[in-house]
Amino acid sequence: MTNPGATSGRGQGGPAALLTVVKLVGERQGLRLWGPLGFELMPGRAVHVQGPNGCGKTTLLRTLAGLRRPALGEVCLPGPCWFIGHATPLAEDLGAFANLRLWLDLAGAAAVADAELHGWLQHWSLPAERPVRQLSAGQRRKLALAPLTLAPRSLWLLDEPFDALDHAGCAWLAQAAAAHLAGGGALLLSSHQALPTGFPPCDAWWLGARGARKAAPAVAEAA
Ligand SMILES: Nc1ncnc2c1ncn2[C@@H]1O[C@H](COP(=O)(O)OP(=O)(O)OP(=O)(O)O)[C@@H](O)[C@H]1O
């Protein structure tokens, strides 16, 4: 990584890419949103995808996570990733603990002890049993982000992860991201907001109809 325009052609022997994208094109209803994109995301690297409403950031992240078929091109994920969308589906009548337990079990992380889940909920003062439909937007966001550190995976795909998150939550995510990258992980996130203080440096990409390029200030794009 991180040339958003082309793959590197990296040879054997170096660290393996955690995400490889080849000639990827995203469309909605026959109209091109972005692409063709080609890049490799290497361990320790982070990308911040930016662009105006509707340019296709969510579509890109969902495509990278394998939740949406690309119009053209290929995505290669050598291992499982965490995709945390901005509209995280929760079992609304279940409590936070039951949601987390279910989520981790389905994701193959049944070995994570109940005590760790309770520890997480207590850390954020989240009620374990109350139906999650009664939680605030920020509480739901903290719940959605829990698997990142409870059951680590080497690639994080985060769609607007700072939405509704308070200062303490943003600081936690910054610290968790720094540790993740230092440990050889990688991440790609979308956000309209500036990254919070302490968040590790990211390559900034601007997503648009001609593909992706290093981000210019939003005002320059709009002009
Ligand atoms: N299920 C859908 N069916 C048809 N079109 C869709 C669907 N979901 C999104 N779109 C369209 O695809 C385009 C890209 O949407 P997407 O959600 O990927 O954009 P975004 O960059 O994430 O936007 P935002 O910044 O508002 O979150 C938009 O024009 C949107 O209207």
Task: Categorize the per-residue pLDDT at 207 as very low, low, confident or very high, splitting at 50, 70 and 90.
Answer: confident
From 34, 48, 57, 221, give the residue whose CB has the most ligand 1 atoms within 8 Å, as the site to mutate: 57
**How is residue 104 written in tokens?**
């981790």
User: Tens digit of pLDDT for each residue in 131-179?
Assistant: 999 999 999 999 999 999 999 999 999 999 999 999 999 999 999 999 9
One-letter-per-residue 3-state SS of 79-129: CCEEEECCCCCCCCCCCHHHHHHHHHHHCCCCCCCHHHHHHHHHHCCCCCC
- The Cα 175–Cα 191 span in angstroms is 17
5 C-alpha vs ligand 1 centroid, how far in Å?
22
Predicted pLDDT at 101 = 97
**Residue 107 vs residue 219, higher pLDDT:** 107
Summarize the confidence of residues 44-56 as an average pLDDT.
95
Protein residue whose Cα sits closest to atom 10 of ligand 1: 28
pLDDT above 60: residue 2: no
pLDDT at site 147:
96
**Closest atom of ligand 1 relative to the 60 alpha carbon:** 18
Q: Per-residue pLDDT for 121 more than 60?
A: yes
C-alpha of residue 54 to centroid of ligand 1, in Å: 5
Tell whether the model's pLDDT for residue 220 goes beyond 50: no
Q: Per-residue pLDDT averaged across 60-75, rounded?
A: 96
| Predicted confidence (pLDDT) per residue in 181-201, tens digit | 999 999 999 999 899 999 999
Is 50 exceeded by the pLDDT of residue 6? no
- Ligand 1 pocket: which of 29, 59, 162, 191 to mutate (most atoms <8 Å of CB)? 59
Provide the percentage of residues in the chain whose pLDDT is more than 70: 87
**Burial class (CB within 10 angstroms; exposed 0-12, middle 13-18, buried 19+) of 175:** middle
Q: Looking at the predicted structure, is the pLDDT value of residue 213 above 70?
A: no
Distance CA 28, CA 70 (A): 10
Counting atoms of ligand 1 from 1, which one is nearest the CA of 61?
A: 18
Rounded distance between C-alpha atoms, residue 98 and residue 114, angstroms: 10
Give pTM, 2 decimals: 0.89
CB atoms within 10 A of CB 77: 18
The pLDDT of residue 112:
97
pLDDT range class, residue 208, cuts 50, 70, 90? low
Ligand 1 centre to CA of 133 (Å) is 25
87-117 residue pLDDT tens? 778 999 999 999 999 999 999 999 999 999 9
Q: Which tens digits make up the pLDDT trace of 7-25?
A: 444 556 778 999 999 999 9
